[in-house]
């Protein structure tokens, strides 16, 4: 992308409405703009991050054997009347009427709809187990939308749903999704800790939240230092082996970790003093096992091995895809701006032409752009070098290719790594070789 002709409205000043660093930086770096309370437009650079996050989520869901589908955002009220949640969900649900006065709603989640899709065509236990997921916009009319995309009203979620014939199968699906989540967050450079959690309006009796540590997080969290030391997503677990899933689940659940809602001060106090950690965290994922709650309420049964009807055991598994963009910035920034991990950066690198109009600089910058487009941002604006440096740091590109008149005369470019600040003078070829 050429910055001179792009909608990347960076801001020098700190917007006053933003209380936390990720919200400030998302506005300042021109990633999003609010269009109504808790509702955001994703501008081109922001959308690229959102899509990279979604792609990692998708790849790890696929690797765990889940199938992608796409359910609509608008749902008929009848489905929710069957489960009893139409009334229960209260004011958080956005209710609509169509021209025929039929009750519709903008989906806050999809348990009812996926159960309905299953009951229409799955008749036998032989078709189970299955896990389905989609990445779709949700709407929850939050009382207090805040912190930008972190607690929005419209937000992008990955939600998956598992169907098993018995409890043992449901537990295996639940653990498989947990391992897949650890791998998903790890690939983004994040360390997520699974913590026991309340299941709230989704229901069920087994639930874990995946928490990223950050001082601005909405939940108070208590955990064993073991989570800082061990990488539980480490390869070595076969995600399709039940024995491996048991071993993984045993490992992550032996150590204490809970949000304030489930905190057990006595169990926490029993940890050695040096191992007790208290902090705050952001919930980036949440998994639930709720058994036959929806299948029973909605009259969904399959023929079991002995021919008798069995209500499938279900679970649901959410990841806050748009919230993750904010959480990533909370985890990766400094005073100058965002420091994107390579895996989710909107652009692999930025090319900064420090002297627009200078023929040698133009030639070199265009040459680099020709070789790297479309994965880089070319700052070809007629701006002072200081402005370009500041915006590149603010936007957080992992690499900066700095083209100035002295270097260009010698065929050299300066390569800066955003995370470390390290700079090197290199030939074009060596610079290109480093950033791939």
- In the complex, the residues that contact ligand 5CA under the rule CB under 6 A are 109, 140, 142, 151-152, 155, 157, 159, 202, 283-286, 288, 316-318, 320, 322-323
Shortest approach of ligand 5CA to residue 184 CB, angstroms? 12
> Quick check: 184 and 57 in contact, CB under 8 A?
yes
Shortest approach of ligand 5CA to residue 221 CB, angstroms? 14
Please identify the residue of the shown chain whose CB is closest to the bound ligand 5CA: 320
Shortest approach of ligand 5CA to residue 296 CB, angstroms? 18
Q: Residue holding tokens 């990766």?
A: 332
Instruction: Indicate the residue among 129 and 407 with the shorter CB distance to ligand 5CA.
Output: 129
Shortest approach of ligand 5CA to residue 254 CB, angstroms? 23
Instruction: Indicate the residue among 140 and 388 with the shorter CB distance to ligand 5CA.
Output: 140
Shortest approach of ligand 5CA to residue 185 CB, angstroms? 11
Integer Cα distance of 263 and 282 in angstroms: 16
Shortest approach of ligand 5CA to residue 267 CB, angstroms? 24
Instruction: Indicate the residue among 288 and 340 with the shorter CB distance to ligand 5CA.
Output: 288
Shortest approach of ligand 5CA to residue 315 CB, angstroms? 9
Q: Is the peptide bond before 90 cis (omega within 30 degrees of 0)?
A: no
Degrees, nearest 5: CA angle 251-267-244: 10
Instruction: Indicate the residue among 140 and 293 with the shorter CB distance to ligand 5CA.
Output: 140
Integer Cα distance of 143 and 96 in angstroms: 18
> Quick check: 37 and 153 in contact, CB under 8 A?
yes
Instruction: Name the token pair of 36.
Output: 């109504």
Instruction: Indicate the residue among 164 and 393 with the shorter CB distance to ligand 5CA.
Output: 164
From residue 10, alpha-carbon distances to 51, 127, 387, 416 in Å are 20, 52, 11, 21
Instruction: Indicate the residue among 155 and 222 with the shorter CB distance to ligand 5CA.
Output: 155
Instruction: Indicate the residue among 176 and 286 with the shorter CB distance to ligand 5CA.
Output: 286
- Residue 357 backbone class (left: φ over 0; alpha: ψ -120 to 50; beta: rest): left
Instruction: Indicate the residue among 110 and 353 with the shorter CB distance to ligand 5CA.
Output: 110
Shortest approach of ligand 5CA to residue 15 CB, angstroms? 19
> How many other C-beta atoms are found inside a 10 Å radius of the C-beta of residue 305?
11
């Amino acid at each position: 992308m050429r910055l001179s002709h792009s909608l990347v409205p960076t801001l020098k000043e700190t917007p006053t409405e933003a209380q936390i660093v990720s919200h400030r930086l998302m506005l300042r770096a021109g990633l999003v703009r609010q269009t109504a309370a808790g509702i955001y437009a994703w501008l081109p650079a922001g959308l690229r991050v959102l899509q990279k996050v979604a792609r990692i989520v998708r790849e790890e869901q696929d690797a765990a054997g889940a199938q992608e589908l796409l359910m609509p955002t608008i749902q008929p009220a009848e489905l929710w009347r069957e489960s009893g949640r139409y009334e229960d969900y209260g004011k958080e649900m956005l209710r609509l009427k169509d021209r025929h006065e039929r009750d519709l709603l903008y989906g806050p989640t999809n348990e009812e709809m996926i159960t309905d899709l299953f009951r229409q065509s799955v008749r036998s236990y032989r078709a189970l187990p299955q896990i389905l997921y989609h990445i779709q916009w949700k709407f929850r009319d939050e009382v207090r939308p805040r912190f930008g995309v972190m607690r929005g009203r419209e937000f992008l979620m990955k939600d998956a749903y598992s169907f098993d014939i018995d409890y043992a199968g449901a537990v295996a699906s639940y653990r498989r999704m947990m391992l897949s989540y650890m791998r998903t967050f790890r690939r983004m450079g994040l360390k997520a800790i699974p913590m026991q959690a309340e299941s709230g309006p989704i229901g069920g009796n087994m639930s874990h939240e995946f928490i990223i540590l950050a001082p601005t997080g909405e939940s108070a969290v208590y955990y064993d230092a073991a989570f800082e030391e061990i990488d539980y997503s480490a390869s070595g677990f076969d995600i399709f082996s039940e024995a491996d899933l048991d071993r993984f689940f045993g490992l992550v659940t032996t150590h204490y970790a809970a949000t304030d809602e489930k905190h057990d001060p006595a169990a926490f106090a029993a940890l050695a003093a040096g191992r007790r950690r208290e902090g705050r965290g952001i919930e980036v994922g949440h998994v639930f096992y709720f058994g036959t709650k929806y299948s029973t309420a909605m009259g969904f049964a399959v023929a079991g091995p002995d021919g008798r009807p069995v209500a499938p055991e279900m679970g649901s598994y959410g990841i806050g895809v748009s919230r993750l963009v904010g959480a990533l910035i909370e985890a990766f920034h400094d005073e100058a701006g965002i420091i994107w991990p390579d895996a989710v950066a909107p652009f692999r690198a930025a090319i900064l032409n420090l002297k627009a109009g200078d023929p040698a600089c133009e030639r070199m910058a265009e040459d680099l752009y020709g070789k790297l487009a479309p994965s880089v941002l070319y700052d070809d604006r007629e701006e002072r070098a200081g402005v370009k440096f500041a915006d590149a740091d603010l936007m957080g590109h992992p690499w900066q290719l700095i083209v100035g008149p002295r270097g260009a005369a010698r065929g050299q470019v300066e390569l800066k790594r955003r995370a470390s600040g390290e700079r090197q003078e290199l030939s074009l070829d060596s610079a290109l070789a480093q950033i791939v």
